[in-house]
Amino acid sequence: MQYIYSFKEGDRNMKETLGGKGANLAEMTKIGIPVPQGFTITTDVCDLYLKQNGYPAGYNETFEKYIKELEDEANKCFGDCENPLLVSVRSGAAVSMPGMMDTVLNLGLNDKTVEGLIKKTGNKRFCYDAYRRFVQMFGDVVLGVSHDLFEEALNHAKIKKGVTNDTDLDAEDLKNLVAEFKKIIKENTGEDFPEDSKKQLNMAVEAVFNSWNNQRANTYRRINKITGLKGTAVNIQTMVFGNMGESSGTGVAFTRNPSDGINEFYGEYLINAQGEDVVAGIRTPNKIDELEKCMPEIYKQLTGIRKTLEDHYCDMQDIEFTIEQGKLYMLQTRNGKRTATAALKIAVDMVEEGRITKEQAIKRLNPEQLDQLLHPMLDPKAEKKVIAKGLPASPGAAVGKVVFTADEAYEWAKERDEKVILVRKETSPEDIHGMHAAQGILTSTGGMTSHAAVVARGMGKPCVAGCGAMHVDYPNKKFSIGDVEVKEGETITLDGALGQVILGEVPTIEPELTSDFQKIMSWAKEMKKMGVRTNCDTPQDAKVARDFGAEGIGLCRTEHMFFDETRIKNMREMILAKDTEGRKKALEKLLPYQKEDFKGIFRAMDGLGVTIRLLDPPLHEFLPQKDEHIEELALEMDFPVSQLKAKISSLHEMNPMLGHRGCRLGITYPEIYEMQVKAIIEAAIEVSAEGIVPVPEIEIPLVSSVNEFTYLKDRLKKVVDAYEGKINFPYKFGTMVETPRCALIADEIAKYAEFMSFGTNDLTQMTFGFSRDDIGKFLSDYIDSGILEVDPFESIDQNGVGKLMQWTVEKGRQANPEIEIAICGEQGGESNSVKFCHKIGLNYVSCSPYRVPIAILAAAQANLE
Amino acid sequence: MQYIYSFKEGDRNMKETLGGKGANLAEMTKIGIPVPQGFTITTDVCDLYLKQNGYPAGYNETFEKYIKELEDEANKCFGDCENPLLVSVRSGAAVSMPGMMDTVLNLGLNDKTVEGLIKKTGNKRFCYDAYRRFVQMFGDVVLGVSHDLFEEALNHAKIKKGVTNDTDLDAEDLKNLVAEFKKIIKENTGEDFPEDSKKQLNMAVEAVFNSWNNQRANTYRRINKITGLKGTAVNIQTMVFGNMGESSGTGVAFTRNPSDGINEFYGEYLINAQGEDVVAGIRTPNKIDELEKCMPEIYKQLTGIRKTLEDHYCDMQDIEFTIEQGKLYMLQTRNGKRTATAALKIAVDMVEEGRITKEQAIKRLNPEQLDQLLHPMLDPKAEKKVIAKGLPASPGAAVGKVVFTADEAYEWAKERDEKVILVRKETSPEDIHGMHAAQGILTSTGGMTSHAAVVARGMGKPCVAGCGAMHVDYPNKKFSIGDVEVKEGETITLDGALGQVILGEVPTIEPELTSDFQKIMSWAKEMKKMGVRTNCDTPQDAKVARDFGAEGIGLCRTEHMFFDETRIKNMREMILAKDTEGRKKALEKLLPYQKEDFKGIFRAMDGLGVTIRLLDPPLHEFLPQKDEHIEELALEMDFPVSQLKAKISSLHEMNPMLGHRGCRLGITYPEIYEMQVKAIIEAAIEVSAEGIVPVPEIEIPLVSSVNEFTYLKDRLKKVVDAYEGKINFPYKFGTMVETPRCALIADEIAKYAEFMSFGTNDLTQMTFGFSRDDIGKFLSDYIDSGILEVDPFESIDQNGVGKLMQWTVEKGRQANPEIEIAICGEQGGESNSVKFCHKIGLNYVSCSPYRVPIAILAAAQANLE
């Protein structure tokens, strides 16, 4: 096993071993792009180090050898007082992971080597600036001393001197700051700052390794479902300096616009600065095209590299560069993060440019990211009280209550179920959990490539960054913009596409879909094999879903139809009836309403299958529970209060989830299902006369034994048979698969059912023994501690629930090769679940209208894989 | 396919085709016992008749042929006015089934043939008596006219004449009664009584067939779990008459005493009577040994036949006979129903007599029947107010509230969860559901072979029959014995072994086990392969179970241990603690109690495995729910009421069965499980010092993912490891299999667990999606309508839950061949479930102490099968 690779040894295919950053540095070296030389310690070393709590045998010798080679090539010596080698140390896993320790620059400096550097560069101020930056970074990221303490000391120095910019501090000020910083380190860690360069290097490498398992990194991996990696690689690279005066500088850029995907060079730079100054958002940088005026040669070289990289990688690149005294170095390239809009535009453009095939375009998109495009946007006609404008850092509309810390954002969202907007001066990796929990993010400093902007775009969350007019007052939990003051808990709206901050809540409208979106969808549809339907209960939603590409309805819940004012009255009359006759009378009144519902849905889904689930929830859900409401109802229905209370109490259940609901209701009160089937068939007959083709599929819920199904099917078939001669459309009877037992006897059921559809919400509840209503108390503990990898209600638990699904498909198809098997649980619109469903051979997935495009794209990817 | 067999053609191996009765009539014919000749229509004909609603092709010709043969042999003619053939028509399935139509006697009589019979016998009274009996039976069982109407008319005739006995009515009276009965039939059915003999016969045969599917028969099959039969056979047999004067008679007898098993001839007879008079309990019959004086020759012949039949069948026989004018005929023989005591004694005696092997003895016993012997009996020292004595018809003690109809018995028991005693003048097959629901049965008329007595013995229910001193007053819902009046709802106690009726409730004591029981148990233990443990939580119960043969504890629930007054206080302190420290402090106080519990249990189970389940129920079960109790507790604990209420409300769950319980608690509050494991290990160390060998098996409940198990095992193993050097006993860590997911990932779990035990109560709940607390509303509907064959909480649902169990065994053993797999759900003591567990290869079953012998016997039978 090779522990270390120099940049000349590796290539971009070695991401697993060298990490993304290391592999790309090697690749750039290979294709002749100027890269400061260095080497990469592999992820294998990280893995061994963490497991054994130390380095593997022979590692130290190898390490010495690569250091020596680097010294020879640079003609500098590590820790040398005359001609010291300075390096950067950066983490880099196979997948980019903001939660880990990121970078230490200028490593190698100490009180002696700084003097050597001064002699060599003749620039004392630069050298002490580099030194104080190093001590600060090392103290923060390697030694864990809060960076606020260093910032405070820096501010204090500026105030003392009466200046506002860092650049106004001279060499002596900076030298004093170095001493000050070391004192802070000593006070906070009990240890002296390590003067020995080799020791510094070792400590930095170990800090990178250990950051692999810190909480932020774990959180990031959990949220992004990143598993199966060995660890992080460490890149050690010769320093180049963007802060060696006015002929130096540093910048970050994207080869296309990551916000809208337009094919333009997009980025920012700072003259006389190190990279962190751009990313951290402390100084507001210049736009990249301004560099053309300022350094035309460098700009020309940079645009050349932009083209080379895109030609080589066939994807939009996110690059970092440094100009050291007029010479350009590339420090990093990687596939750039982008908004969903940009992802679609870039994919479509690159197909049209002939750079990639349609299949490659489809494969590289992240289905979950489409979510951003499919949610409602702010109604442009609505009145908006715009109180400020910042940078449009990540598009979309967000409404929520203002909070000022990530912890509060998390708590308000999780525990109080509140929608929140996280407002910060700037964000940092510690804030990830709060950003994830928030609806949107607003910062007062930082640019389009600041931490807040990059992370928000990755998460698909609206973000307004660098809103300089905003003054954030953490201690008093408020912010102010001019005269307007907004306190914690007050509602604001963000328009991430326009960078607007709006007071109060603004109404939203449906998103408009771009031609890029339509193109991608049409390609995906051609490439997928599995069907995609929608879960919806109204003609309006059915239309939305069909526009999004839904090929039918996989779950139409009929219970929601009973909550309208008139209907709930009839429903309650039915529940309170003394006998079958009384129930039938009340149901008679509901029939016309149900019929109208179904007619609307059949019209919207003309020619496509519509799976209608018969009444599922327990009857007590239709009755009030609070005393005052019970009394009101009793008055309204002219029913004695005591009897009403007795009825409600008789319907009470210990575990309603496992109680008298689904087909169990249908068996006890067959007249309910009979009315529903009557409504379905009559609606279908009536729309048929309009020239519509209805395809009703009648679904019996919560089946756990074959006799339940056959009993009800036989009974309901008689209702249908009464319309003999009038039925000129196809119809089916089938069942939900929600109980584990239904899956276990799939072969028996399949003999009588024409379709089966996994209700994976209930199936997951029963397979785990988790009540969704009650797991709040421990599910997040379970996920945080890694007891569960994912929330099984978000993504199918393939190892448990998935086994029951596979069993069902196998046994069900053996018994009835013609049977249609599908899923209609919420996981049916989650991309990993969609891929699993493709793999086990389902006929279709069904999900909420807004997730239909996600499912279509995932289904296409599954089929391409 | 042969539709009909004459008695000369069949034998006892043809039960499936000829039914039990037909096969035995043929067998008796074969071995030379005097049987009135006849033939049997097969169960296949019944099956075809019911499916096609008519007879199969060629059946009618065959039927005519067999009738002709019978006429030839009897030298009589069916429907002949001079020399008429009279027959009995009886149902007879492969398994005896009291719910079906039973018997029509004297079929063939009409206004013309009765004259022929008079001429032939010269006994007009006998002939009209036979005729009125026939019309009555035919009206009742074939035409469905209530037999009360006929009885009323008969009583009316007696009153009119001023006599009390049927025998006091003369020929003319009986002739008038026949006319009266026919009028009743016409009034109630709208049809004339059929005079044509062939029509009578056809109607009777069809009535037998149709009775196969009547409600009573279905109920009987359901209660007795009889499935897979084709239908009933019909036996048509030449009539012989026990009512042809003083040299005639009829009787029923058992070849040994069915109550205690003693090897004595045991039965009853009536002179000048037909069989129904004995069984129906209307006249009180004589004991069989009195026949020796009355008809010594017949008695000698009968005792000869008794021996022949026992030698031939190697089992106790239940026989019916008729003496017609001094000639003995056997009408039936079958294996006799018996009490558990008798079953054991007969089995042991027959082994000792060399009639059967030990294996045969074990195989023929019904494990469920042992239940009778294992329940507490009346305390002989208790004061008892015996108000009457009847026949000791079925042994055992029963305490309950008096009810007077079968429907009430059923309702009170099922809906109000009351224990009831069913009090009737006499019982009939319509009462089966009420008898099943009652604790015991008390009748005022009828003997040891009356309906009530026979059925109660079969069900293992205490019964006092023929309590002549008791006057039952149905309209006023009370009975009186002398001056004592007992009303509906008042409590009485029955001692079925002594025939005592006792006022009020009498305390009970543990049963004493006979040497027969001990012998059977020792044989069964040798013959079984699978282990049998017990579920118990106290040293007392552990001792009882070990005496019954338990080989360890399969489930020791620790939560019950916290409900004692001092402990619940500490438990509540723990729950209300603000932090881990507070919880630990409260748990510290609980530790000594837990330790003492475990020490007692280890002592009782010296050398045997003790599986201890860590805390399982949700914490809210330990807190009060009612406002007044909450206020009391707040006062007692010096805790603000509002905070206590808030805490209780925060612990409330929508579906507590699927909530924060089991290992989920253990993960949130590891200190609870740590205290419990500490208590277990310290208890084991301390009893070890006494020379006891403790074998603790620590069980983690409600696991649904492998990480839950490994997380807790690792953590708890550390607790054990702290006692290193002091542990000189074996111990294990294992898990319950209660969630379907735990079964689905059995292979993963088995890598880390040393044992797995099916908690089939929860597993059944989750597999079906049935909450045991809530299914009351529909489970009985499900079973009555045949949607479910058995209550899956009583007997393992082999087709669903059983599949998960098989999967677990297969995958679990593949991953860890050493793993011990067991069951500790309530079904572990039910014989069919025990046999299933043997079949799938479990290491042991575990059940409540009183069911241990049942499980041992069932395990032996499973191994012999």
Residue B69 has pLDDT above 80, yes or no: yes
Which chain B residues are closer than 8 Å to A797 by Cβ?
741
Catalytic entry in B46, B536, B742, B824: B824
What mean pLDDT comes out for the span B617-646? 87
- List the single residue in A708, A769, A788 with the smallest CB-CB distance to B766: A769
Which chain B residues are closer than 8 Å to A787 by Cβ?
667, 705, 707-708, 711
**pLDDT recorded at residue B281:** 58
Q: Best mutation site among B619, B654, B760 for testing chain A: the one with the most A CBs within 10 Å?
A: B654
CB contact under 8 A, A657 and B658: yes
* Cα-trace Rg, chain A: 32
Catalytic entry in A46, A433, A436, A451: A451
**pLDDT recorded at residue B18:** 96
What mean pLDDT comes out for the span B181-196? 95
Q: Residue B149 in 3-state DSSP? A: helix
Which chain B residues are closer than 8 Å to A808 by Cβ?
none
CA–chain centroid gap for B348, Å, is: 22
- List the single residue in A667, A766, A771 with the smallest CB-CB distance to B778: A667
Residue A208 has pLDDT above 90, yes or no: yes
Confidence band, pLDDT 50/70/90 cuts, at residue B376: low
- On the CB side of A752, how many CA atoms lie within 13 Å of its CA? 18
* Amino acid occupying residue B196: D
**pLDDT recorded at residue A376:** 67
How is residue B196 written in tokens?
Answer: 């044509």
What is the C-alpha to C-alpha distance for residues B170 and B159, in angstroms, rounded to an integer? 14
Which residues touch B434 (CB under 8 Å, ≥6 apart)? B403, B405, B406, B407, B408, B409, B410, B422
**pLDDT recorded at residue B685:** 98
- The answer to whether the CB of A20 falls within 8 A of the CB of A96 is yes
Per-residue pLDDT of B642-693, as tens digits, reads 888 888 888 888 888 999 999 999 998 999 999 999 999 999 999 999 999 9
CB contact under 8 A, A785 and B711: yes
CA dihedral A451, A452, A457, A461 (to 10 degrees): 160
Distance from CA of A466 to the nearest CA of B (A): 41
- The answer to whether the CB of A236 falls within 8 A of the CB of A25 is no
The answer to whether residue A824 is catalytic is: yes
Distance from CA of B794 to the nearest CA of A (A): 17
A434 C-beta neighbours (distance < 10 Å), count: 24
Q: Which tops the pLDDT comparison, A243 or A73?
A: A73
Q: Which tops the pLDDT comparison, A602 or A162?
A: A602
Q: Closest residue of B to A787, CA-based?
A: B707
What mean pLDDT comes out for the span A654-669? 92
Confidence band, pLDDT 50/70/90 cuts, at residue B218: confident
- The answer to whether the CB of B841 falls within 8 A of the CB of B780 is no
Per-residue pLDDT of A174-184, as tens digits, reads 999 999 999 99
Catalytic entry in A46, A127, A467, A824: A824
Per-residue pLDDT of B815-827, as tens digits, reads 999 999 999 988 9
Nearest Cα neighbor of A85 from A109, A61, A63 is A109
Residue B223 has pLDDT above 80, yes or no: no
Q: Closest residue of B to A702, CA-based?
A: B769
Does ipTM top 0.85? no
b/e burial code for range B807-833 (CB count within 10 A of at least 16 → b):
bbbebbbebbeebbbbbbbbbbbbbbb
Average pLDDT, rounded, for chain B: 91
**Highest-confidence segment of A82-91, A837-846, B468-477:** A837-846
Q: Best mutation site among B655, B702, B736 for testing chain A: the one with the most A CBs within 10 Å?
A: B655
Q: Which tops the pLDDT comparison, A162 or B372?
A: A162
For B574, the enclosing helix (H) or strand (E) is: helix B565-576
- List the single residue in B711, B768, B771 with the smallest CB-CB distance to A704: B768
What mean pLDDT comes out for the span A430-448? 85
Burial class, B58, CB count within 10 angstroms (exposed 0-12 / middle 13-18 / buried 19+): exposed
**pLDDT recorded at residue B353:** 95
- List the single residue in B762, B766, B800 with the smallest CB-CB distance to A745: B800
Residue B73 has pLDDT above 70, yes or no: yes
Distance from CA of A655 to the nearest CA of B (A): 4
What mean pLDDT comes out for the span B306-322? 95
- The answer to whether the CB of B367 falls within 8 A of the CB of B460 is no
**pLDDT recorded at residue B464:** 93
Per-residue pLDDT of A780-792, as tens digits, reads 778 777 788 888 9
- The answer to whether the CB of A254 falls within 8 A of the CB of A317 is yes
b/e burial code for range A309-333 (CB count within 10 A of at least 16 → b):
bbebbebbbbbbbbbbeeebbbbbb
Per-residue pLDDT of B105-116, as tens digits, reads 899 999 999 999
First to last CA, chain A: 31
Per-residue pLDDT of A301-358, as tens digits, reads 999 999 999 999 999 999 999 999 999 999 989 999 898 889 999 999 999 999 999 9
CB contact under 8 A, A782 and B667: yes
**pLDDT recorded at residue B279:** 62
Residue B455 has pLDDT above 80, yes or no: no
Per-residue pLDDT of B735-779, as tens digits, reads 999 999 999 999 999 999 999 999 999 999 999 999 887 787 787
Which chain B residues are closer than 8 Å to A777 by Cβ?
660, 668
What mean pLDDT comes out for the span B539-564? 90
Q: Closest residue of A to B652, CA-based?
A: A774
**Highest-confidence segment of A416-420, B187-191, B564-568:** B187-191
Which chain B residues are closer than 8 Å to A670 by Cβ?
none
Q: Best mutation site among A704, A707, A742, A752 for testing chain B: the one with the most B CBs within 10 Å?
A: A704
What is the C-alpha to C-alpha distance for residues A390 and A646, in angstroms, rounded to an integer? 60
Which residues touch A208 (CB under 8 Å, ≥6 apart)? A46, A89, A90, A91, A100, A101, A232, A234
Distance from CA of B741 to the nearest CA of A (A): 5
What is the C-alpha to C-alpha distance for residues B494 and B439, in angstroms, rounded to an integer? 9
Nearest Cα neighbor of A204 from A129, A108, A279 is A108
**pLDDT recorded at residue A749:** 97
The answer to whether residue A312 is catalytic is: no
pTM, full prediction: 0.80
Which chain B residues are closer than 8 Å to A739 by Cβ?
767-769
- List the single residue in B765, B788, B797 with the smallest CB-CB distance to A658: B765
Nearest Cα neighbor of A97 from A249, A224, A209, A273 is A224
Confidence band, pLDDT 50/70/90 cuts, at residue B282: low
- The answer to whether the CB of B212 falls within 8 A of the CB of B231 is yes
CB contact under 8 A, B800 and A653: no
What is the C-alpha to C-alpha distance for residues A436 and A431, in angstroms, rounded to an integer? 9
Catalytic entry in B46, B127, B436, B451: B451
CB contact under 8 A, B738 and A769: yes
CB contact under 8 A, A774 and B702: no
Confidence band, pLDDT 50/70/90 cuts, at residue A504: very high
What mean pLDDT comes out for the span A212-230? 79
What is the C-alpha to C-alpha distance for residues B386 and A689, in angstroms, rounded to an integer? 80
How is residue B740 written in tokens?
Answer: 């379907």
Confidence band, pLDDT 50/70/90 cuts, at residue A449: low
Which chain A residues are closer than 8 Å to B653 by Cβ?
771, 773-774
What mean pLDDT comes out for the span B490-516? 89
Average pLDDT, rounded, for chain A: 91
Q: Residue A450 in 3-state DSSP? A: coil
Q: Among A495-499, A751-755, B68-72, whose mean pLDDT is lowest? A: A495-499
How is residue A536 written in tokens?
Answer: 């919806």
**pLDDT recorded at residue A213:** 86
CA–chain centroid gap for A703, Å, is: 35
What is the C-alpha to C-alpha distance for residues B170 and B174, in angstroms, rounded to an integer? 6
Distance from CA of A614 to the nearest CA of B (A): 18
* Amino acid occupying residue B55: Y
Per-residue pLDDT of A577-620, as tens digits, reads 988 999 999 999 999 999 999 999 999 999 999 999 999 999 98
Q: What would the 3-class secondary structure string for A119-165 be?
A: HHHCCHHHHHHHHHHHHHHHHHHHCCCCHHHHHHHHHHHHHHHCCCC
Q: Could you say which DSSP state residue A77 is in?
A: B
What is the C-alpha to C-alpha distance for residues A101 and A216, in angstroms, rounded to an integer? 10
**pLDDT recorded at residue A568:** 86
Distance from CA of A45 to the nearest CA of B (A): 27
**pLDDT recorded at residue B427:** 85
Distance from CA of B736 to the nearest CA of A (A): 13
Q: Best mutation site among B647, B703, B705 for testing chain A: the one with the most A CBs within 10 Å?
A: B705
Residue A800 has pLDDT above 80, yes or no: yes
